[in-house]
Structure formats: structure tokens, C-alpha cells
Structure 1
Amino acid sequence: MKKGDTSPVLVNIGFGNVVASSKVVAIVTPGSAPIKRMREEAKKDRKLVDATQGRRTRSIIVTDSNHIILSALQAETITQRFLEGKSDLAEEV
């Protein structure tokens, strides 16, 4: 990215699926009851995006628009990719 470029930083969340890092509020694991309820509410409201390609859900990404994105990658892996994207931006400035 060049200085002054306002294009969004896209982060790979698995299987060629990407998400704009500026829109992500949280990355959580799917095990707890509140997260399961949040997932069901998003499905009911048609705000659930399944990016697992049929595999087991290992992390859930919450966006600022209340969309819930399911990923087959571990939350730690996605977090690391977000951090790498931020460090790449810092190096270019």
C-alpha cells in the first residue's frame, strides 16, 4: 500500500475468503453458549456468512454491521494474520 492509500486491508480467513479488517469487531471461539445464541440470531436475521467450505467451525468473526462470519481457521491464526497486516502497513509508512 502506498502512503495515503485508503483501500481496505483484506485478511484471508480461509479457502480464499477475505474480510475487511476495518469492519471486524471481534474474533471468538464458537464454544460458549452466548456465542451459539449469537450465531443462531444471525442465522434467523439472515446475517450469517458461512466461510467454512463444509468444515468444522473453529472461529467466529463479528463485524460492525452485526454480521457473523464462520471460519474453519483457528481464532489465533486469524488474529495473527490481522497483526501481520497491521505491521505491513506500519513498515510502509
Structure 2
Amino acid sequence: MNIKLINIGFGNIVSANRIISIVSPESAPIKRTIQEARDRGMLIDATYGRRTRAVIIMDSDHVILSAVQPETVAQRLTNKDDIQDEG
């Protein structure tokens, strides 16, 4: 099995194969999704106290907050140099 990992900022890495979407945290539905994940204990805050700029929705129902722009995370997904293969 080929595991692809992506850096979401500050040394935090997630499995690229499990990402469903990468969205901006500005809209009310996304803020509601974040609060619901927090209530369920499925929220992972990887911002290190900085402003949340990207919300990553995983297929495991986890919601990850990142301080990196959504465009940057998406670019890292498509850029072969930033994806690490773990065998």
C-alpha cells in the first residue's frame, strides 16, 4: 500500500489519501462543521495558536484546522516534491 503524506504546516503531516476536502473557514456552514466536530471530539487543531486559514475534512470524519492557506495545501497535494511516499 502506498501512503502519501502531506505537510499542513508547522511539521504536521496528514495522509493525503484520506483528505476529502480543503476549505476556507470563513463561511457559516464550515464554522458550524468545526463546532460540531469539536463537540464530538473529532477536531484536530494544528494551528499552534495562529489564525485558522484552512479546514481539512478527512474521510474518518475528523476535521483538521491548519494555519496554512487552502491554496498552499492544495498545491502541496499536487506537487510531487512535497508529497512523501512511505513504503
Give the unaligned 5+ runs of structure 2.
none
- Residue matched to 2:2: 7
Q: Which has the larger radius of gyration?
A: 1
- Residue matched to 2:27: 32
4+ runs of 1 displaced by more than 6 Å? none
Taking the aligned partners of 1:65 and 1:17, their CA distance within structure 2 comes to 17
TM-score by length of 1: 0.85
Identity of aligned residues (%): 49
CA deviation after TM superposition for structure 1 residue 85, in Å: 3.3
CA deviation after TM superposition for structure 1 residue 60, in Å: 0.2
TM-score by length of 2: 0.90
Give the unaligned 5+ runs of structure 1.
1-5
Number of paired residues? 84
Question: Residue type matched to 2:36 in 1?
Answer: E
Higher relative contact order (CA 8 A, sep 6+): 2
Question: Residue type matched to 1:46 in 2?
Answer: G
- Residue matched to 1:3: none
Any conservation in 2 of the 1:9–1:85 contact (CA below 8 Å)? Answer: no
Higher helix share: 1
- Residue matched to 1:65: 60
1:14-49 CA distances to partner (integer Å, 9 max, x unpaired)? 000000000000000000000000000000000000
Taking only aligned residues, the RMSD between alpha carbons, in angstroms, comes to 1.9
Taking the aligned partners of 1:12 and 1:54, their CA distance within structure 2 comes to 17
1:62-92 CA distances to partner (integer Å, 9 max, x unpaired)? 0001100000000000000000139x79xxx
